């Protein structure tokens, strides 16, 4: 920033001259600066150059969700420039970029993260305000230049037009003059009826880079003098190095160093292949520790015992479930078992770090720059100001890259290797076997129905792993009774059905298998359980599963979910005939601000194999910035959830993950891809997220269709064809 700074007193906007000329609008996302220690910083900005080019710097990262596009569209809309005039630049780490959704977490200084389907919801308005403020100042500067009233001027397509005379001034010509003005206190944002760009499908900036190999992901990052490392990790979670012999690794051509770090032994070499050969040649003896005794089948047996405890940490309690269960006309009970899941982003974990003694620089595909910096600061003792993080493009995120292990490890390796820049590359096997898994759980459900078949009681006890046991910056949010809000998310935080007596509780049991955030988090498993069990109740009552749900969604807080359900039933032709052997299942769930309902059309072959033919989805997440990318997000969320429902199973044997790569941890492939129809409902409701709400409904919609096809209820994921054979 140059010396000229005109800061509005009451807002978080300020204007100034950009280095190299032009207008720079800086803004602070409300709350972020308050949460951060020290004075507010203004380092998130929109710049209008004297050539009229607009540069938008964002702290949010791009992992395929097109957030860079969506935010640039918001800037272009308010600024009145063509979308293609806006250049998006990935910003570094800065408290000004702190995600206000998480400002409650003051212990970590407010933080910068891209997750929880939160970007547009949270930074959308501040970004629009920056655009609107810049437009206001450019109009004022142009009016001064033309010596006319600014009330007679309008902005359009990067120009200020004096309407009575038709005279025009380009933004670039008044960018310097505008920089001397005071930013408006409260720039007026456009009304939705005035939107030219918001709500229209707009192509991404970076698609051309993704079709010719020039897009740079973390794994593609290169730096002079950079070495590559591959790490030998204990196959058992929590295991430690007992002893190691580096000699066989050092004999491999290209291997430079072998160093011990927290995660194991790193082999540092000239290139990946040498590092990997060195790693494979290394002799390491491990102290496997206590987790070596953990096996998945025993874990579920243990959890089944724990579930019998009289009490647990309560998340939702209304009425008297005990009495209602005892007094119902009919009682239904079921157990649902949910497996651990890995994320398997297409780009395996990696990070490049350069430890320079008094500072450290990191280049990484990360969703969570602030958390990375927090842990790197803890590791190195360096102040956060000495830590620079450059986020690259992410080859998928899905919550895996909210963790900091890969970034911290790269810093450790760089430091141990003598302060040279090192890229640590994880093989796919490491990626699968050293993840933070979607928590497995054992779920005991019971319900009572009245004489009309309607539920009077609903009890859901969840026993299982907890993310917050592992996510230590969140550790203080784990309640003393062991309640982890992420474990009951989608089961007890938003309960849409009108049932008078409800109890949702949780027993936290840490088996030593790391747990983490997986697209839609608790909703991904609890949505499956809720929407399967409600289907069970409908069938027990002898009622249509769509109408049964509908009847129970009468409370005002459930109106948007009912709206989505109604629309999906209509669009899918619920109740209309289907080809022989094809059956429908329905499900609806709220997650991360989005109400999503889906109908799946499924057939089950004689050998039990499941084919999903078509999925119809309705999403109501309020107003939409870019419909095309919303459609992609919902389709993507469906594929992610469908992959898990059909195949996703991480099993533990002697403390080790049994799966290792895409051959035994299978992804959905093109030949299995259903037709997907996405209907976007743009209601008046509060804006919600887009990345995650599409995942929870797919597994129950498919399993409810399987029930319709076979009469067999899937209560344990993934779906096992051998249990569905005719």
> For binding to other proteins (CB under 8 A), which residues are involved?
63-66, 203-204, 206-217, 219-220, 222, 228, 253, 271-274, 277, 344-348, 393-398, 425, 427-429, 628-629, 632, 635-640, 643, 661-663, 667-671, 673, 675-676
Rounded to whole angstroms, the Cα distance separating 531 from 587 reads 6
In 3D, which of 402, 414, 393 has the Cα closest to residue 372?
402
At 116, list the tokens. 């929880």
Residue with smaller CB distance to other proteins, 191 or 669: 669
Nearer to other proteins (CB atom), residue 43 or residue 609: 609
CB nearer to other proteins: give 423 or 460: 423
**Distance of closest approach, residue 700 Cβ to other proteins, in angstroms:** 18
Q: What is the largest CA-CA distance in the chain?
A: 83
Minimum CB distance to other proteins, residue 691 (Å): 10
Pick 209 or 290: Cβ nearer other proteins:
209
Give the pair of three-digit tokens for residue 212. 């010719």
> Whole-number minimum distance, CB 418 to other proteins, in Å?
21
Q: What is the DSSP string of 580-604?
A: TT-EEEEEEEEETTEEEEEEEEEEE
DSSP 416-460: HTTS--EEEE--HHHHHHTS-BBPPEEEEEEEEE-TTS-EEEEEE
CB contact set of 353 (below 8 Å; sequence gap of 6+) = 360, 361, 362, 363, 364, 407, 410, 411, 413, 414, 421, 422, 424
CB of 385 to other proteins, least distance (A): 31
Q: Is the dihedral of CA 357, 359, 361, 367 positive or negative?
A: positive
Tokens 């072959």 locate to: 605
Angle value at C-alpha 423, between 421 and 427, nearest 5 degrees: 165
CA 110 – CA 95 distance, rounded (Å): 7
| Residue 245 or 661 with smaller CB distance to other proteins | 661
Nearest to 498 by CA among 318, 688, 336: 318
Residues 468 and 274: beta-carbon distance below 8 Å: no
Cβ nearer to other proteins, comparing 146 with 432: 432
> What values do phi and psi take at 107, rounded to 5?
-60, -30
Nearer to other proteins, 211 or 726 (CB): 211
Comparison of 395 and 522: residue with beta carbon closer to other proteins = 395
Instruction: Tell me how crowded residue 90 is: count the other CB atoms within 10 A of its CB.
Output: 15
Grouping H, G, I as helix, E, B as strand and the rest as coil, residue 627 is helix
Task: Assess whether the previous peptide bond of 718 is cis (omega < 30° from 0).
Answer: yes
Length of the chain: 726
- Closer residue to other proteins, CB minimum distance, 320 or 628: 628
Closest approach of Cβ 11 to other proteins, in Å? 35
Tokens 């953990």, residue located: 294
Q: Tell the smallest beta-carbon distance from residue 586 to other proteins (Å).
A: 21
Q: Nearest distance from residue 201's CB to other proteins, in Å?
A: 8
Task: Please state the closest distance from residue 81 (CB atom) to other proteins, in A.
Answer: 22
**Minimum distance of other proteins from residue 21's CB (angstroms):** 33
Return the DSSP state at 486: T
Q: How far is the CB of 427 from other proteins (least distance, A)?
A: 6
Nearest distance, CB of residue 211 and other proteins, angstroms:
4
Q: Please report how close the Cβ of residue 271 comes to other proteins at its closest, in angstroms.
A: 4
User: Which of 192, 208 has the CB closer to other proteins?
Assistant: 208
Angle CA 528–531–537, to nearest 5: 135
Query: Which residue lies nearer to other proteins by CB, 195 or 217?
Result: 217
Please say which residue, 397 or 527, places its beta carbon nearer to other proteins: 397
Long-range contacts of 253-261, Cβ-Cβ distance < 8 Å, separation of 24 or more: 254/278, 256/227, 256/417, 257/416, 257/417, 257/418, 258/282, 259/413, 259/416, 259/417, 260/416, 261/231, 261/409, 261/412, 261/413, 261/416
Identify which of residues 90 and 359 has a Cβ nearer to other proteins in the complex.
90
Residue 644 Cβ vs other proteins, minimum distance, rounded to whole Å: 11
Nearer to other proteins, 527 or 655 (CB): 527
End-to-end CA distance of the chain: 71
Residue ranges in 577-719 assigned as alpha helix (H): 627-647, 698-710
**CB of 531 vs other proteins, minimal distance in Å:** 21
Cβ neighbours for 723, distance < 8 A, ≥ 6 positions apart: 608, 712, 714
For 312, left (φ over 0), alpha (ψ -120 to 50), or beta? beta
Which is closer to other proteins, CB of 210 or CB of 476?
210
The nearest distance, CB 125 to other proteins, in angstroms, is 25
Q: How far is the CB of 405 from other proteins (least distance, A)?
A: 19
Nearer residue to other proteins within complex by CB, 429 or 544? 429
Cα separation, 602 vs 608, in Å, equals: 12
């Amino acid at each position: 920033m140059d010396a000229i700074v005109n800061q509005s007193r009451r807002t978080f906007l300020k204007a100034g001259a950009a280095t190299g000329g032009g207008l720079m609008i800086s803004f602070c996302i409300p709350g972020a600066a308050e949460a951060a220690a020290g004075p507010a910083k203004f380092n998130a900005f929109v710049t209008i150059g004297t050539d009229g080019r607009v540069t938008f710097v964002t702290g949010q990262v791009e992992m395929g969700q097109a957030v860079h596009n969506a935010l640039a569209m918001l800037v272009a809309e308010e600024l009145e420039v063509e979308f293609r005039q806006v250049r998006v630049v990935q910003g570094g780490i800065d408290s000004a970029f702190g995600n206000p959704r998480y400002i409650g977490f003051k212990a970590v200084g407010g933080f910068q993260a891209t997750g929880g389907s939160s970007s547009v919801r949270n930074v959308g308005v501040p970004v629009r305000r920056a655009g609107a403020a810049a437009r206001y100042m450019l109009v004022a500067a142009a009016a001064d230049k033309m010596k006319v009233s600014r009330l007679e001027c309008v902005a359009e397509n990067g120009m200020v037009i004096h309407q009575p005379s038709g005279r025009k001034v380009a933004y670039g010509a008044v960018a310097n003059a505008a920089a001397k003005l005071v930013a408006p206190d409260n720039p007026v944002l456009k009304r939705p009826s005035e939107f030219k760009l918001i709500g229209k499908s707009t192509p991404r900036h970076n698609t051309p880079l993704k079709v010719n190999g020039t897009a740079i992901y973390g794994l593609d990052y290169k730096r002079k003098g950079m070495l590559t490392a591959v790490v030998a990790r204990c196959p058992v979670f929590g295991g430690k190095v007992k002893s190691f012999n580096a000699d066989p690794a050092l004999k491999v051509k290209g291997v430079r160093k072998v160093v011990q770090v927290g995660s194991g032994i790193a082999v540092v070499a000239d290139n990946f292949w040498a590092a990997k050969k060195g790693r494979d040649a290394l002799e390491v003896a491990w102290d496997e520790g206590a987790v070596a005794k953990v096996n998945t089948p025993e874990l579920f047996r243990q959890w089944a015992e724990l579930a019998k405890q009289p009490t647990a940490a309560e998340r939702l309690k209304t009425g008297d479930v005990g009495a209602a269960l005892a007094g119902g006309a009919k009682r239904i009970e079921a157990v649902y078992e949910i497996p651990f899941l890995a994320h398997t982003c297409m780009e395996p974990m990696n990070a490049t770090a350069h430890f320079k003694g008094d500072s450290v620089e990191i280049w990484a595909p990360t969703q969570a720059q602030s958390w990375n910096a927090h842990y790197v600061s803890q590791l190195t003792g360096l102040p956060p100001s000495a830590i620079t993080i450059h986020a690259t493009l992410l080859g998928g995120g899905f919550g895996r890259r909210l963790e900091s292990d890969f970034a911290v490890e790269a810093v450790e390796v760089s430091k141990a290797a003598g302060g040279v820049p090192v890229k640590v590359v994880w093989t796919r096997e490491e990626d699968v076997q050293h993840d933070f898994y979607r928590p497995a759980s054992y779920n005991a459900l019971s319900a009572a129905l009245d004489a009309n078949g309607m539920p009077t009681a609903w009890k859901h006890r969840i026993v299982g792993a907890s993310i917050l046991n592992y996510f230590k910056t969140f550790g203080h949010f784990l309640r003393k009774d062991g309640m982890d809000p992420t474990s009951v998310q989608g089961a007890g935080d938003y309960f849409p059905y009108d049932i008078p007596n409800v109890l949702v509780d949780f027993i936290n049991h840490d088996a030593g298998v790391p747990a983490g955030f997986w697209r839609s988090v608790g909703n991904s498993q609890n949505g499956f359980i809720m929407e399967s069990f409600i289907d069970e109740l409908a069938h027990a009552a002898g009622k249509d599963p769509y109408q049964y749900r509908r009847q129970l969604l009468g409370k005002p807080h459930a109106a948007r979910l009912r709206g989505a359900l109604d629309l999906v039933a209509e669009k899918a032709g619920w109740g209309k005939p289907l080809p022989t052997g094809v059956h429908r299942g329905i499900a609806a769930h709220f997650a991360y601000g989005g109400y999503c309902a889906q109908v799946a059309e499924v057939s089950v072959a004689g050998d039990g194999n499941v084919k999903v033919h078509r999925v119809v989805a309705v999403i109501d997440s309020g107003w939409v910035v870019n419909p095309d990318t919303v459609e992609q997000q919902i389709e993507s969320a469906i594929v992610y959830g469908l992959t898990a429902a059909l195949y996703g199973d991480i099993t533990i044997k002697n403390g080790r993950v049994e799966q290792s790569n895409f051959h035994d941890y299978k992804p959905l492939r093109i030949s299995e891809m259903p037709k997907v129809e996405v209907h976007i409902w743009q209601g008046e409701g509060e804006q919600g997220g887009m990345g995650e709400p599409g995942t929870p409904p797919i597994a129950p919609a498919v399993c409810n269709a399987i029930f319709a096809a076979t009469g067999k209820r899937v209560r344990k994921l993934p779906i096992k064809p051998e249990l569905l054979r005719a």
